[in-house]
């Protein structure tokens, strides 16, 4: 050990490299811009069965979310699922028209069918 290190160690009681300033590198990832915060000003009262209240309380303890936040997330998921399942009028019409359309078979399909009948009877 160098004499200066021994003096520093004896003087402070710790290794000299611990006293160097730590350099913290800036993060390369930028935090996403948070949307404008919406303040909670509305109330919603519910009457629940004791078993439903217990389930909600368990979900709150597991997720760390408040009851209102759990309610919002559940409602949002249900609405997202519903919107994916329900077709608008124009979507429905386009879907039904595609099903009703019976295109003529292509030449390749006709040749393949003839070949299949020839090979397998």
- The confidence score (pLDDT) of residue 106 equals 94
Host domain of residue 82? 50-99
Q: Is residue 85 in a domain?
A: yes
Q: Is residue 31 in a domain?
A: no
Q: 32-56, pLDDT tens digit by residue?
A: 666 788 888 888 898 999 999 999 9
Which residues are CB-contacts of 44 (< 8 A; sequence separation ≥ 6)? Answer: 68, 71
Catalogue the E-assigned strands of the chain.
Answer: none
The structure tokens listed for 54 are: 């217990």
- How would residue 89 be classed by pLDDT, with cut points 50, 70 and 90? confident
Q: Is residue 111 in a domain?
A: no
Number of domains within the chain: 1
Q: Is residue 25 in a domain?
A: no
Please, are residues 82 and 75 in contact by the beta-carbon 8 Å criterion? no
Q: Is residue 4 in a domain?
A: no
Q: Is residue 121 in a domain?
A: no
- Is a pLDDT exceeding 60 seen at residue 17? no
Q: Is residue 77 in a domain?
A: yes
Q: Is residue 93 in a domain?
A: yes
- The confidence score (pLDDT) of residue 77 equals 93
Please, are residues 43 and 71 in contact by the beta-carbon 8 Å criterion? no
């Amino acid at each position: 050990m160098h004499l200066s290190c021994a003096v520093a160690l004896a003087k402070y009681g710790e290794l000299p490299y611990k006293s160097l300033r730590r350099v913290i590198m800036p993060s390369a990832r930028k935090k996403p811009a948070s949307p404008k915060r919406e303040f909670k000003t509305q109330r919603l009262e519910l009457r629940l069965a004791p078993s439903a209240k217990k389930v909600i309380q368990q979900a709150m303890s597991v997720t760390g979310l408040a009851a209102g936040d759990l309610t919002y997330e559940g409602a949002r998921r249900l609405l997202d699922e519903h919107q994916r399942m329900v077709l608008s009028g124009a979507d429905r019409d386009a879907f039904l028209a595609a099903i009703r359309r019976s295109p003529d078979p292509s030449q390749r399909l006709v040749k393949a069918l003839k070949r299949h009948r020839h090979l397998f009877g």
